[in-house]
Chains A and B, each alone.
Chain A
Amino acid sequence: MEQRTLWSRMMAIDRRILYLILAVNIVGALMARVVLEPNIPPAVRSFYETIEALQPGDIVMVSSTWSAGTLAENQPQFEAVLRHLMRKRLRFTIISFTPPARDISHRLARRLTREQGYVEGKDWAHFGYTPDIVLAVKGMSEDIAQAVRQDVRRVPIQQLEVMRGIKSLKDYKLVVDITPSDTLTAWISFRPRDLKIIYCPTSVMAAEAYTFLDSKQILGMITGAKGAYEYEHLLGIVGLGTRFINAIQFSHVLIITFILLGNFAMFMQRRSRS
């Protein structure tokens, strides 16, 4: 039987120990009071500046197609975006393309808007859930009242005060797409030509969006909770992104450390064998 060395033990470490180390690291990082200043990437800065350039009373479409699975990444983005829109006194409407996304975004938006004195139907509205994004975007580009018909509370679109003077997506100034899935390409392909888009993907989806940033098809992007932290820093608020950033960065460090340790153990084991 082969003698078990430190290196072979390290390579065969029980996965439950690894899980425990990560859990302790995350809990510790969430409780830590360390706040490091972020480096603001150009995509986050232009995201912020795109909203800043809007005038009070302008209307924005928030496409919210995330559910609890990606809550840790999309909720900080959603909250920060809504706070920014309300700070600028912009009108906004929300639409979801999955049923759970409708429930989560509506409940969250109701809470946030109540805090800021926004009134549902007057300052903002939720268009509920629509199953096909392509048909929805094409339909709304022509006539929102015909494509959506009523808001989530069953109030007809024409009767919503927030929609006064708004017939189609052509009257909107901006779309904010908050999503862990591939809804961005539908917005890019089928929106009215002049409608600007900014994007809030999860970290895993962000890599694909750099092509659209490069081509200016999207004007800005905040990536996951990390992006939300950078955006919150620009807004000067402490939100979920700020609370999560330590857990993210210290987990990155931990993963890198353990990858290096694993490789070092492999190298040492090979060396001892030879």
Chain B
Amino acid sequence: MFDTRENIWAAFWMIGAAILIFALIPLLQTLPPRGRYLLIAFVTFIAGLFFAAEFFLPVDEKTGKNFLTDPFQRLQGSLQVITALSLGLGTYGLIRLHLRNAVQRRAQWGYSIVLLVSFVTMAFFSVWNTLAEKGLLGVQRTPLLERAFTLLFDYTLVQLDATMFSLIAFYIFSAAYRAFRIRSVEASILMFTAMIVMIGIVPLGKFISDSIGLPIMMTDEMRTNPFALETILYSLRLPEVANWILNVLNAPVQRAIEFGVGIGALAMAIRLWLSLERGIT
């Protein structure tokens, strides 16, 4: 069934871990809420402590590691397992919900049927494709698989995903036309800044600046004389103004915002680590 002995052992480990995890779920359910909370809070605290300690503990000059670095790297594998489990849990929840919708003929149950059929079809060909790609279970790539997967992935999923995102452009256009009104000084500044950046960063900005006769290049002479008319005119080129806005006005503001977000994230992390957030049970 598998290529090597290592894979067989890996499969045993995975099955064992899955059994253990599925056995833990009813065990957790039997605990009273307080006990469940304490258990989860304890595990969360230990996990957080491990990550924080690995980051803050000094490292050996030669190896660049501390005693937690190697276990930290091994954790990457367990994180993949947790991600896979959460994906499995999400899939289970989604299918259960839509199966119930379809069976009980709830409102708009037809969409649930579409979802289930799409899900099963895509999953079937994706798994088949992955097995063929990796040469697992002796599965071979066939013309049917090639055609079906290309049709489903390249010509359906990718295109639908891209279309969904592209629709934002239409909403932005409509919203900008309806909502972007100059009702205050701040709104006026915002609008004119946005316009300069929008035109300045595209080739049209360069074209307009060239067309109205603004200097094309910054010469050495212009650099030495910042108040010369030529230098001032060069600075008024739309791409230069747009770059100045992005580098001189935007960057410090972004830095300030990120600093604030960082402090907020730190506070939030401490609350999560100490299980002070609600809904832990």
Contact of B250 among A37, A72, A207, A245 (CB under 8 A): A207
Assess the B158–A71 pair: CB atoms within 8 A: yes
Closest Cβ neighbor of B150 among chain A residues: A107
Assess the A259–B247 pair: CB atoms within 8 A: no
Assess the B72–A19 pair: CB atoms within 8 A: no
CA distance A131 to B65 in the complex (A): 23
CA distance A214 to B248 in the complex (A): 10
Stretch at the interface among B109-117, B137-145, B164-172: B164-172
Closest Cβ neighbor of A256 among chain B residues: B195
In the complex, which range does the number of interface residues on chain B fall in? Answer: 35 or more
Indicate if A13 sits at the interface (CB-CB under 8 A).
yes
Assess the A41–B202 pair: CB atoms within 8 A: no
With a cutoff of 8 Å between Cβ atoms, the chain A residues found around residue B169 in the complex are 22, 26, 251
Assess the A211–B158 pair: CB atoms within 8 A: no
In the complex, which range does the number of interface residues on chain A fall in? Answer: 35 or more
Assess the B65–A36 pair: CB atoms within 8 A: no
Assess the B254–A210 pair: CB atoms within 8 A: yes
Stretch at the interface among B36-44, B176-184, B227-235: B176-184
Assess the A214–B165 pair: CB atoms within 8 A: no
Assess the B166–A72 pair: CB atoms within 8 A: yes
Indicate if B191 sits at the interface (CB-CB under 8 A).
yes
With a cutoff of 8 Å between Cβ atoms, the chain A residues found around residue B258 in the complex are 208, 211
Known: A131-B80, A258-B176. A154 touches B134 (CB 8 A): yes
Contact of B73 among A143, A153, A258 (CB under 8 A): A143
With a cutoff of 8 Å between Cβ atoms, the chain A residues found around residue B69 in the complex are 142
- Indicate the member of B65, B75, B79 with the most A CB atoms within 10 Å: B79
Q: List B residues 172-209 near A (Cβ within 8 Å).
A: 172-174, 176-178, 180-182, 191, 195, 198-199, 201-207
Assess the B202–A208 pair: CB atoms within 8 A: no
CA distance A146 to B72 in the complex (A): 12
Indicate if B135 sits at the interface (CB-CB under 8 A).
yes
With a cutoff of 8 Å between Cβ atoms, the chain A residues found around residue B166 in the complex are 72
Assess the B177–A259 pair: CB atoms within 8 A: yes
Closest Cβ neighbor of A210 among chain B residues: B251
Assess the A259–B73 pair: CB atoms within 8 A: no
CA distance A147 to B75 in the complex (A): 10
Indicate if A18 sits at the interface (CB-CB under 8 A).
yes
Assess the B254–A252 pair: CB atoms within 8 A: no
With a cutoff of 8 Å between Cβ atoms, the chain B residues found around residue A245 in the complex are 202-203
With a cutoff of 8 Å between Cβ atoms, the chain B residues found around residue A26 in the complex are 169
A-B contact count (CB 8 A): 152
With a cutoff of 8 Å between Cβ atoms, the chain A residues found around residue B205 in the complex are 39
Contact of B180 among A67, A104, A262 (CB under 8 A): A262
Indicate if B101 sits at the interface (CB-CB under 8 A).
no
0/1 string, A36-66, CB within 8 A of B gives 1: 1111011000000000000000000000000
Assess the A252–B133 pair: CB atoms within 8 A: no
Indicate if B277 sits at the interface (CB-CB under 8 A).
no
Assess the A135–B174 pair: CB atoms within 8 A: no
Assess the B177–A68 pair: CB atoms within 8 A: no
Contact of A36 among B133, B203, B246 (CB under 8 A): B203
Using a CB–CB distance below 8 Å, which chain B residues touch chain A?
Answer: 64-65, 69, 72-73, 75-76, 79-80, 83, 133-135, 153-154, 157-162, 164-166, 169-170, 172-174, 176-178, 180-182, 191, 195, 198-199, 201-207, 239, 243, 246-247, 250-252, 254-255, 258
Using a CB–CB distance below 8 Å, which chain A residues touch chain B?
Answer: 11, 13, 15, 18-19, 22-23, 26, 36-39, 41-42, 67-72, 100, 103-104, 107, 130-132, 135-136, 138-139, 142-143, 146-147, 152-154, 207-208, 210-211, 213-214, 223, 226, 229, 245, 248-249, 251-256, 258-259, 261-263, 266
29 A-B pairs within 8 Å (CB atoms) are namely A15-B178, A18-B173, A22-B170, A36-B207, A37-B206, A38-B206, A39-B206, A39-B239, A68-B159, A68-B160, A69-B164, A72-B166, A104-B158, A136-B76, A138-B72, A142-B73, A153-B133, A207-B246, A210-B250, A211-B254, A223-B201, A229-B203, A245-B203, A249-B204, A252-B198, A255-B176, A255-B177, A259-B177, A259-B191
Known: A138-B73, A142-B65, A211-B255. 9 other contacts (CB 8 A): A19-B170, A36-B203, A139-B73, A153-B133, A207-B254, A211-B258, A256-B198, A259-B191, A266-B181
